[in-house]
Amino acid sequence: EVQLVQSGAEVKKSGESLKISCQGSGFSFTSYWIGWVRQMPGKGLEWMGSIFPGDSDTKYSPSFQGQVIISADKSISTAYLQWSSLKASDTAMYYCARLTTRSWAYWGQGTRVTVSS
């Protein structure tokens, strides 16, 4: 069974750094793109970027380029999303997802990030 399990909720202050994770199981982690999607409170879905763990090829949405870093550790089948300096506007739910049949077919449960100023 394909599963994506994300790390737990985080409460941070503005200016702090953060790295959240998404561990895959039930499939060959190095063979599929893993993406990250933001959902701000009460708002819609926004694609942030994705990574191919097999060769670490990474793509970013222009809206998020330079704002976050997406990485992966294929030895532990885990993808990461990180910030070097959080802002209050980073408060959101973050989902990871796996690309299949050119669509995001499998999703993690989400990681809620709350940033206080």
Residues that bind other proteins (CB under 8 A): 35, 37, 44-47, 49-50, 59-62, 65, 95, 97, 101-110
Q: How far is the CB of 60 from other proteins (least distance, A)?
A: 8
- Closer residue to other proteins (CB): 12 or 59: 59
Comparing CA positions, the residue from 32, 37, 90 lying closest to residue 61 is 37
**Shortest gap between Cβ of 111 and other proteins (angstroms)?**
11
Q: Are the C-beta atoms of residues 71 and 79 closer than 8 Å to each other?
A: yes
Q: Which of residues 14 and 100 has its CB atom nearest to other proteins in the complex? A: 100
Alpha-carbon gap, residue 4 to 108, rounded angstroms: 5
What is the closest distance, in whole angstroms, from the C-beta atom of residue 54 to other proteins in the complex? 19
CA dihedral 54, 7, 14, 49 (to 10 degrees): 30
Nearer to other proteins, 14 or 109 (CB): 109
Tokens (6 digits) for 116: 């206080």
CB of 81 to other proteins, least distance (A): 15
Amino acid at 29: F
